[in-house]
Structure 1
Amino acid sequence: MKIVIGTILRNRYKILQFLGGGAFGETYLAEDLDLPNQPKFVVKHLKPKTSESDVLQVAQRLFESEAKVLYKLGNLSQQIPKLFAHFQENGEFYLVQEFIDGYDLSAEIIPGKKLSESELIQLLQEILEVLAVVHQQNIIHRDIKPQNLMRRQEDSKIILIDFGAVKEIKGLLADTEGQVISTVIIGSNGYMPNEQANSKPKLASDIYAVGIIAIQALTGKLPQEFSEDPQSGEIIWQNEAKVSKKLASVLTKMVNCQFNLRYQSATEALEAVKSLSSFTIKLQKLVIPVCLSVVVLSGLIFAFMNFLKRPATVVKQPAKSESNLQLVCPETSFLSQPLASKPDLKIGNSEYYGLSREKGTGKGSVVFPDKKTGTQARYDGEMKNYKRNGCGIYTVNGDSYRGQFQDDKFHGQGINTFKSGDRYIGQFENGFFQGKGEFICKNGNKYIGEFRNNKLHGKVTFISQNGSNEKIEIWEDGKLKEGGKIFDCNAGK
């Protein structure tokens, strides 16, 4: 049963808002009434399945041990939330932790979107640096996934949250012989290796999870969509992403089915990833001077030949153009928290989570059937009168839209990323591309200009995938005026 908003715990912590939860407990935003300005904290509520005395004794012991671990880790690193208090009331357990203002990595690692190799190496270093602090204390996190890695708004650093061991308290039961046992396998499907699923986690189990996140970011696929070798059980992914052999080798080692063949700690994995970064820098230092020499020599030859056959009239090429749109909604608008086991409110086929019941206004999540695709859609963000209004993220069938909404429709500025890999950045009106925008095709072709009702209309700059062909075109209702070519991503090949 959820804590009632307004409840004051320990005569000090006033519950302000339900943040999320599930089978293992609930998380709330609270304020500390004893301190000046009533600073905000996160309160985690844990309750064993049974109130039997033997179970409560084991839960108490686990709770105290876990609180010591969290307190120690929070003081070792500024990228792990600090523990400020832990207490027990009426057989239920509470942790009071630092509130992190930011968003989790599911807002960055989006289905259909692929990170570049350099972007991924940077992300891996950020994750492994904080995980190394945990592993150096011989502690296993056990639930590494995008939702438990937050990007702090203040400094954009990765914050590691939600340590799995606390969840054991929720799963404690007494068996038929009176022995207290844990019924919980801690971890998340897709990110959990075999040994962890068999209740024998290692430090290398966390490395497997980080490797899965990396492959997810490179391929744009969810872990459940990965292919596996039917004989070895190893993940098949290299055909889905273009990366160097060195990076592919590091990731393959991270997600090896056999834990003893993986990197054995985050420190070891971090060294391997850092070597990738230094290798890239060395390669750049070697390649750039050589390339410059070739370019200079080629340029001199080309200039001389061009001088010999120079025409009387020189045609000036149009300068490259960009949409230069600054999105109104900050990245922190795109929060995507794990949903509770039950919705807070259900209206028709729509299920609402974390939303204020006062006229359905505020920040929250809603899950509902999408009429066009016939699949389940999800929205996380600002709402008014139970409709999508403000900044948020909408995902359905592999497509995603991040930006401004008005009365359940894309309206304003945003980014539409398609399952196909195509992407539109620009202005929307009543759900349509409308106004200035940039359409970037999966093949690299780019159209920059005016859109009307999802179609190119007016003066448009076309830039081919390798930048070799750039020209100004005039379009009308999705058709090129000269030649009648219809707007599609294969045009200009």
Structure 2
Amino acid sequence: MATSQTLSKAFGNLLGGRFRVLQAVAEDNHTQTYLVEDTIAAEMPRWIAKSFCLINKTNLQLDWARSLFRSEVPKLQQLSDRSNDFPKITTYFEQEEEFYIVEEAIDGTRLSDELVKGRLYNESEVINFLQQLLTSLHIAHSANMVHGDINPRNLIRRKHDEISNHHFVLTNFAVLKGIYATTAQKGVVLGTPSYMPFEQALGHFTPSCDIYALGLTAIQLLTGLHPSQIVHREALNLLNWQMGVMIRPELAEILNRMVKRHPEDRYQSAQEILYDLDNLPPDQDFQEFQMPKLVFSEGFGENMGRWAIALICLAGVAWGVVTFLNLPKLVINPSSTPTLTPTAVPPQALATNYQLRQTLKGHNGWVRAVAFFPNGFSFASGSYDRTLRLWNVRDNQPFETLSKHFGSISGINAIAVHPNGNTFATACIDKSVKLWNFRSGQPINNLEGHEGQVYSVAYSPNGKTLVSASADKTIKLWNWRKAEVWQTFEGHQDKVVAVVFHPDGKKIASASFDRTIKIWDINTGKEILTINGHNAPINAIAFSPNGNFLASGSQDQTVKIWDANTGKLLQTLSGHTGNVLAVAISRDANMIASGGADKTIRLWDVKKGQLLQILDNHEAQILSLSFSPKDQTLVSGSADRTVKVWQL
């Protein structure tokens, strides 16, 4: 702890020859925080100065701390320059064998202060909270920085943003505690024990630790329970926190996966969680029923009997609500076009009989993309683990793994294969489209120009051009050989998540979170047609091989079939109980496959609009589908990190 002599010496003196100490504002065993004023720059006169000191200042310990300070603080400074999600660091220095960082004095409220007042967050607020903090973590983790000490005390909501529930600033990176955690002090734990996973306590410091701590914090905001009050259910590998909390089961599943005991069971990146949050189903089922929330006071044990009765009553009500919400739903389509709700068919009477032939493992993250090559038996899979894998459906091992060792720094959202099969393209989170040679496995070009992550990519039927869709709300048409943009299509009001070429090569279709599908003329760049009809963001589209119709999958849990020329709605296929995330059309155009957040693949008869078969072997949501161009083989990629091969 900083001594009174150290403190009195600091008062009245200048730190770094520039910053005058006004008052001490915080103190712990090895750090002291001061409010200081800048005696040189008047535009931002007040800052926070943090000093890190060693108790036993041996030469070895000082050299170790000095090396860490000089290597890590510049990284934090660069991070603060990139985003206001982190306190701006103006300077850092060493003075009298103590290490100082001077950062902005944030005018705001600590999240811990809100919790003390008994404030609980509702579902919408928690989702907004997670989206903002996960975006912050994505920025930090992309810069190879782990926070390591996420908890309510280290989250400050800027004062001018209190009404809108953000913007939170992520303060006090744990890496700085390493300045005093020298080789002679190995017992020092970097982080706050109640919020850290077991592997962090053992010294394993990874992005997964941040995901765990953020998940615990979100649960605390919903329940009012401190992490020390939450019991781990070993048999289920779950934390027991959901009693009396009415949120969508999909959100509860996200939170539970964030706080899994074993790191391999958790989400592997902030981007994966953001994707799941973006694809939560509509919350209308919970809008008319609000469950009372219980906040445990410090002395809640004295009233345990009354709380137990209340919890039993709440459990009964919650069971009734969950039972009601899981009853079959009557689908009423307000449009004049009838909705086809498939009749349940006994397994022996199904018109198709797809069987699981292989489960292909190897990816360490979500499999966001699968695409067949023209030969009909080779296909590629792309993942958030930053790798591409090339497979042969006749084998159960990848014959090539690409990407990490070729400089790829980003997860993969989509794959498109050139008509001749010699090259393929990947749509990447890092805002680029990467081009690859199939035979050599080498990258051949990088297309840059989008201002947001690229969600979808497609080659023209003649292979001369390539089109990409992005979170920046635009579609770009490329001369991919020269890495030149030929055309930029603008008109969507939200991110564009899917784009496909019409088989005639003259038109493209795009789908957006603005709930519309647009058809474009590739020569003029003009919009030909806008198709409306979905009641929620659209995740996927596909043209039939003959170009007669277009299929779309949406967060409204339906697949819709449209006339490709007029935009007229032909069929609505209902049956999924979660967002529809992927669609694919068989080579004979008679069957549509759809994959959903409900962990199922559904096969549909295009002409009759009837459900043919349900494939439910995946353990998590279906993210990608592809039919072989040679036969009826279907491959699927999932958030369970596997690829499955299905055949008649």
- Range class of TM-score, shorter chain: 0.5 to 0.7
Question: Alpha-carbon deviation of 1:154?
Answer: 2.7
Residue among 185, 207, 219 paired with 1:215: 219
Matched, 1:126 2:132: yes
The aligned counterpart of 1:171 is 181
The aligned counterpart of 1:78 is 84
Q: Which has the higher helix share?
A: 1
Matched residue SS, 1:28: strand
Residue among 167, 170, 193 paired with 1:160: 170
Question: Alpha-carbon deviation of 1:234?
Answer: 3.0
Q: Report the CA distance shift for 1:258/1:287 in structure 2 as closer, same or farther (over 3 A).
A: closer
Question: Alpha-carbon deviation of 1:110?
Answer: 4.1
Once the two structures are superposed, residues 299-355 of structure 1 have per-residue CA deviations (whole angstroms, 9 ceiling, x without a partner) of xxxxxxxxxxxxxxxxxxxxxxxxxxxxxxxxxxxxxxxxxxxxxxxxxxxxxxxxx
Matched, 1:35 2:41: yes
Provide the C-alpha distance between the structure 1 equivalents of 2:117 and 2:198, rounded to a whole number of angstroms: 25
Question: Alpha-carbon deviation of 1:107?
Answer: 2.4
* Structure 2 alignment gaps of length 5 or more: 289-296, 308-312, 315-648
The aligned counterpart of 1:458 is none
Provide the C-alpha distance between the structure 1 equivalents of 2:146 and 2:183, rounded to a whole number of angstroms: 23
Residue among 18, 38, 51 paired with 1:12: 18
Residue among 266, 271, 274 paired with 1:262: 266
Provide the C-alpha distance between the structure 2 equivalents of 1:249 and 1:37, rounded to a whole number of angstroms: 47
Residue among 239, 253, 266 paired with 1:235: 239
Matched residue SS, 1:63: helix
Matches within 5 A, 1:294-309: none
Provide the C-alpha distance between the structure 1 equivalents of 2:124 and 2:158, rounded to a whole number of angstroms: 21
For residue 35 of structure 1, what is the amino acid of its counterpart? Answer: A
The structure, 1 or 2, with the larger RCO (C-alpha pairs under 8 Å, 6+ apart) is: 1
So what's the TM-score if we normalise by structure 1? 0.54
Question: Alpha-carbon deviation of 1:199?
Answer: 0.3
So what's the TM-score if we normalise by structure 2? 0.42
Preserved CA contact (<8 Å) 2:81 2:88: yes
Question: Alpha-carbon deviation of 1:124?
Answer: 1.3
Matches within 5 A, 1:394-405: 397=299
Q: Report the CA distance shift for 1:95/1:227 in structure 2 as closer, same or farther (over 3 A).
A: same
Provide the C-alpha distance between the structure 2 equivalents of 1:53 and 1:78, rounded to a whole number of angstroms: 37
The aligned counterpart of 2:194 is 190
Preserved CA contact (<8 Å) 1:105 1:149: yes
Preserved CA contact (<8 Å) 1:132 1:267: yes
Q: Report the CA distance shift for 1:230/1:85 in structure 2 as closer, same or farther (over 3 A).
A: same
Matched residue SS, 2:68: helix
Provide the C-alpha distance between the structure 1 equivalents of 2:15 and 2:286, rounded to a whole number of angstroms: 62
Matches within 5 A, 1:437-452: none
Preserved CA contact (<8 Å) 1:134 1:140: yes
The aligned counterpart of 2:351 is none
Residue among 142, 148, 155 paired with 1:142: 148
The aligned counterpart of 1:47 is 53
Provide the C-alpha distance between the structure 2 equivalents of 1:130 and 1:213, rounded to a whole number of angstroms: 15
The aligned counterpart of 2:251 is 247
Preserved CA contact (<8 Å) 2:150 2:210: yes
Matched, 1:202 2:212: no
Preserved CA contact (<8 Å) 1:111 1:220: no
For residue 87 of structure 2, what is the amino acid of its counterpart? Answer: P
Matches within 5 A, 1:371-390: none
Q: Report the CA distance shift for 1:111/1:36 in structure 2 as closer, same or farther (over 3 A).
A: closer
Q: Report the CA distance shift for 1:173/1:258 in structure 2 as closer, same or farther (over 3 A).
A: closer
Provide the C-alpha distance between the structure 1 equivalents of 2:169 and 2:87, rounded to a whole number of angstroms: 7
For residue 239 of structure 2, what is the amino acid of its counterpart? Answer: I
How many pairs does the alignment contain? 288
Provide the C-alpha distance between the structure 1 equivalents of 2:47 and 2:258, rounded to a whole number of angstroms: 35
Matched residue SS, 1:65: helix
For residue 264 of structure 1, what is the amino acid of its counterpart? Answer: Q
Question: Alpha-carbon deviation of 1:59?
Answer: 0.7
Once the two structures are superposed, residues 338-392 of structure 1 have per-residue CA deviations (whole angstroms, 9 ceiling, x without a partner) of xxxxxxxxxxxxxxxxxxxxxxxxxxxxxxxxxxxxxxxxxxxxxxxxxxxxxxx
Matched, 1:98 2:104: yes
Matched residue SS, 2:94: strand
Provide the C-alpha distance between the structure 2 equivalents of 1:30 and 1:398, rounded to a whole number of angstroms: 41
The aligned counterpart of 1:107 is 113
Matched residue SS, 1:108: helix
Question: Alpha-carbon deviation of 1:11?
Answer: 2.0
Provide the C-alpha distance between the structure 1 equivalents of 2:244 and 2:260, rounded to a whole number of angstroms: 18
Q: Report the CA distance shift for 1:258/1:111 in structure 2 as closer, same or farther (over 3 A).
A: farther
